[in-house]
Amino acid sequence: MTDTLLTDGASDEVPPTTRADWQSDQEVRWCPGCGDYSILTALQLLMPELGARREKTVFVSGIGCAARFPYYMNTYGMHSIHGRAPAIATGLALARPDLDVWVVGGDGDMLSIGGNHLIHALRRNIDINILLFNNQIYGLTKGQFSPTSEKGKITKSSPVGSCATPFNPVSVTHDMDRHHMQEMFRRSYEHPGTSMVEVYQNCNVFNDGAFETITKKAVRDDMLIPLRHGEPIRFGSEGQFGVARHDGGVELVEVADVGVEGLLVHDETRPDPSTAFALSRLAESPDRPTPIGVFRAVDRGEYAVAMNAQVDEARAARGKGDLHALLHSLPTWTV
């Protein structure tokens, strides 16, 4: 897209934006210390680098602490209905394929009440960027267990421990590493079709330290497994650990045992999703070495392109429709 100002004619070049352009005048109302702040900062700093335009950008959210995000971005936005952000964003992206549409929601919003809408957005491959802030808790409603809370989690709504097995969506990035977050957001922005970034986000009030076992500086090297396309999957402070194929899936290994040549080379473009899935299952919960990065990036026909092509074809064959005539084309009933 070329950006030009259509107003005064003096200059048709649009000036680059700065972080301040993306900050709204709304008071940020997250609790002090909440991980949501660092995600907001990462994105506001990244937007100018992406060359994104505020007037072409929309943030849609559902309900929850995470869902307050659109207030703080100086763009178009909608704080919508609990769980329905992917559905609303779908309509918008279809009607206005020229816009950059982002969806922001928490683990409750996207995976409980909104689970259905999320999977259908992914299935259709609408061109939207979904950011899932996973803090493994319902933050806004004061700390009930969520679909990503670990088994046995004691909360006000599970006083003797949750007995539900948690969802483990994909562990893509975390709020303690701004550069990694920005790289993931950039990849999400550039991907044609639906992209989903799960951010491990600390809720310091109702679930403090949920990801500490893997994200704390002292343990990070041994607990986070960076996925880099085309490179052997290797980690550890000395590069001493890695991931290898095992029994149709993958397993953690020591490089001393299998050699570098025995490690799995990460291929995010592999059409078969089974390896990406196996990697996403490597850590059952975020207390064991956990892969982060782009698990899978494949191009598949984007829905709005296909749907709008059908509309164009129908118009070319049958002319522009007349909604009023259509609505009155069949008998009506008086009840």
Ligand X SMILES: Cc1ncc(C[n+]2csc(CCOP(=O)(O)OP(=O)(O)O)c2C)c(N)n1
Q: How far is CA 55 from CA 14, 109, 181, 252, in A?
A: 12, 26, 24, 46
Whichever of 36 and 100 has its CB closer to ligand SF4, that residue is: 36
Q: How far apart (Å, rounded) are the C-alpha atoms in residues 182 and 169?
A: 20
Report residue 197 CA to chain centroid gap.
Answer: 3
Tokens 């989903």 belong to 196
34 lines the binding site for ligand SF4 (CB under 6 A): yes
Contact flags string 64-93 toward ligand SF4, x per CB under 6 A: -x----------------------------
Backbone angle region of 74, left / alpha / beta, with phi > 0 → left and psi within -120 to 50 → alpha: beta
Taking CB within 5 to 8 Å according to partner kind, which of Mg ion, ligand X, ligand SF4, none is near residue 141?
A: ligand X
145 lines the binding site for ligand SF4 (CB under 6 A): no
Q: How far apart (Å, rounded) are the C-alpha atoms in residues 184 and 280?
A: 16
Residue 35 burial by Cβ neighbours in a 10 Å radius (0-12, 13-18, 19+): buried
Q: Which of 87, 172, 203, 279 binds ligand SF4 (CB under 6 A)?
A: 203
Whichever of 82 and 191 has its CB closer to ligand X, that residue is: 82
Coil, strand or helix: which one is 174? Answer: strand
Taking CB within 5 to 8 Å according to partner kind, which of ligand SF4, Mg ion, ligand X, none is near residue 31?
A: ligand SF4
139 lines the binding site for ligand SF4 (CB under 6 A): yes
- Residues with Cβ < 8 Å from 289, sequence gap 6 or more? 214, 222, 223, 224, 225, 235, 241, 252, 282, 283
Q: Which of 145, 185, 189, 206 binds ligand SF4 (CB under 6 A)?
A: 206
Give the interface with ligand X as residue ranges (CB under 6 A). Answer: 63-66, 82, 105-109, 113, 133, 135, 137-141, 146
- Residues with Cβ < 8 Å from 182, sequence gap 6 or more? 42, 43, 45, 46, 49
Q: Per DSSP, what are the bridge partners of residue 105?
A: 132
**Of 30-38, 51-59, 124-132, 216-224, which part binds ligand SF4 (CB under 6 A)?**
30-38
Whichever of 137 and 304 has its CB closer to ligand X, that residue is: 137
Q: Which of 129, 154, 134 shows the shortest CA–CA distance to 144?
A: 154
Taking CB within 5 to 8 Å according to partner kind, which of Mg ion, ligand SF4, ligand X, none is near residue 177?
A: none
Structure token digits, residue 244:
């290898």
**Of 90-98, 148-156, 204-212, 253-261, which part binds ligand SF4 (CB under 6 A)?**
204-212
Please provide the size of the chain in residues. 335
Taking CB within 5 to 8 Å according to partner kind, which of ligand SF4, ligand X, Mg ion, none is near residue 30?
A: ligand SF4
Q: Which of 17, 22, 30, 92 binds ligand SF4 (CB under 6 A)?
A: 30
# residues contacting ligand SF4 (CB under 6 A): 12
- In whole angstroms, how close is the CB of 246 to ligand SF4 at the nearest point? 37
Taking CB within 5 to 8 Å according to partner kind, which of ligand X, Mg ion, ligand SF4, none is near residue 205?
A: ligand SF4
- In whole angstroms, how close is the CB of 136 to Mg ion at the nearest point? 7
